[in-house]
Structures are given as structure tokens and as C-alpha cells.
Amino acid sequence: MSGPNPETPLALLPPDVAAQLRIAEYVTAFIWDVLCNAPNDWKLVTKHRIGMGTWVYFIARVCTTFYIITSTLLLTYPVGDCVLAHQIYTSASAIVMPANGLLMFLRTRAIFNNNKRLVSLLLLLWLLVVGTAILPAIPGMAVVVNIGPTKYCFVTIDKHTAWSSAEIFHMVAPIIYDTVVFVAISLRMFHASYMESLDGNRSRKTKIMAAITGKYLPRFSKAVLRDGQAYYL
């Protein structure tokens, strides 16, 4: 029998210690993210009017946090009762995807308020995301079993049932929606940044790079462009 792989340090630790260390890494990264955003969240609550967008933002953050915790526990922790853990996980997924999608819809609607056709298209795509988000929570959608005699869980899809096609729609719908949102916002900001870069004697390469990075955009528009790029990636 070969020894532990020296390229994977966790293999040198006992399984329970390695699992605890891995979970500690996830929790630390999550706490760091919360602390980094805490000042901005505080300003959002105390210095700005709380409207629908604010409520959707915080609901999306809370749901995303719950989703990350449940998915991490389901896939990395010996929960034992895999069926119950999967039900909690799919319930979180059914909320977090529409919540984040609604947040992006409100942002895009504010940018394209005069383009009723595009707004209507995005609304239909968001409703498609809502409909497909609940599919994993339907009984029989996935097969959840313990990995051998352990308490760890394994989730699979029965390819011989209609649910396999439903799972494809569940994964593809958010990708289509996010792509349309990203392309729409990027093209609008691309055009605005490119027009701004026309002022002065600049090379074509400089103009294209400025359009992609939003170099000559106002601070708010540049933040919208970069935030959209980060969200899509």
C-alpha cells in the first residue's frame, strides 16, 4: 500500500482533523467576506433610504449565506441523515437563485428603464429562473444516499427519468439569465465608455481597452460595470 500523497498535506492528517480544518477554512473565508462588506452594509442602512432594492439585497445576502452553509455541510460534513440535509439544501437553493436574480433584474431595469422590450424579456427570464429553482426540491428529483457505511452524503440524478432533463433546465436557466443581464449591461457601458474615449487623440487599442475597463466612465457607472463582470465570473 502506498503512503499519503505528499502533495496533499491534508492526507497526512487523520480524517476527522482534516475535515475540521477544511470546514474552518470555509468559515474563515465567509467571516472575512462579511467583515469586508459590513461597513458598506451599515452605510446602506443608515445613510440611504431603505427601498425594495435594499430589502432584496439583504434577503439575497442572508439566503446566500444559508445556501453556502447548507451546501458545505451536505457535501463535506458527515451529517448522517442525507435526505433531510438535501431537503434543507434544495429549499435554500429555491430561494437564493430567485433572490439574486431579482437583485440583478432591478439593477438592469434601472439602466434600461426606457427599453420596455428588454425589461419584459428579463422579467420572463427571471420567472423562468424562479420556476426552475424549485425543481430540485421536488421529491424524486435527485437520489441522495450515504457513501458506503459512512455518514457522508452523495447526490446523483437518475438519468432514466424525466427529472434528468429537468435538472438540465435547472442549471441552464440561471446561466442564460445571467448572460443576458451581463451582455446588456456591458454593451451599454461599453458604448458609453467608448464614446467618452473618443475625446482626444487616443489609439484604437486604448479606446477598446477603455470601453472594456470603463476607464472614462463616471465612478458609479464604472462600479456597475465591474460589479457585473465580477458577478458573472
Q: What is the pTM of this model?
A: 0.70
Residue-level pLDDT at 213: 65
Range of the domain at 226: 49-232
Residue-level pLDDT at 32: 82
Q: pLDDT tens-digit profile of 189-226? A: 776 665 655 555 556 666 566 666 666 666 666 666 67
Residue-level pLDDT at 159: 60
Structural domain contains residue 222: yes
Structural domain contains residue 32: no
Structural domain contains residue 12: no
Structural domain contains residue 20: no
- The number of residues making up the chain comes to 233
Residue-level pLDDT at 124: 92
Distance CA 23, CA 8 (A): 16
Where the chain has pLDDT below 50, the residues are 1
Residue-level pLDDT at 47: 79
Task: Report yes or no: 189 and 217 within 8 Å, Cβ to Cβ.
Answer: yes
Distance CA 170, CA 164 (A): 10
Structural domain contains residue 38: no
Residue-level pLDDT at 77: 74
What values do phi and psi take at 192, rounded to 5? Answer: -65, -45
Nearest Cα neighbor of 115 from 180, 71, 171 is 180
Nearest Cα neighbor of 102 from 52, 136, 166 is 52
Q: What is the domain count for the chain?
A: 1
Residue-level pLDDT at 146: 73
Structural domain contains residue 7: no
Structural domain contains residue 86: yes
Nearest Cα neighbor of 216 from 186, 185, 192, 200 is 192
What values do phi and psi take at 179, rounded to 5? Answer: -65, -45
Structural domain contains residue 19: no
CB atoms within 10 A of CB 13: 14
Residue-level pLDDT at 55: 85
Helix (H/G/I), strand (E/B), else coil: 160: coil
Residue-level pLDDT at 193: 62
Residue-level pLDDT at 30: 74
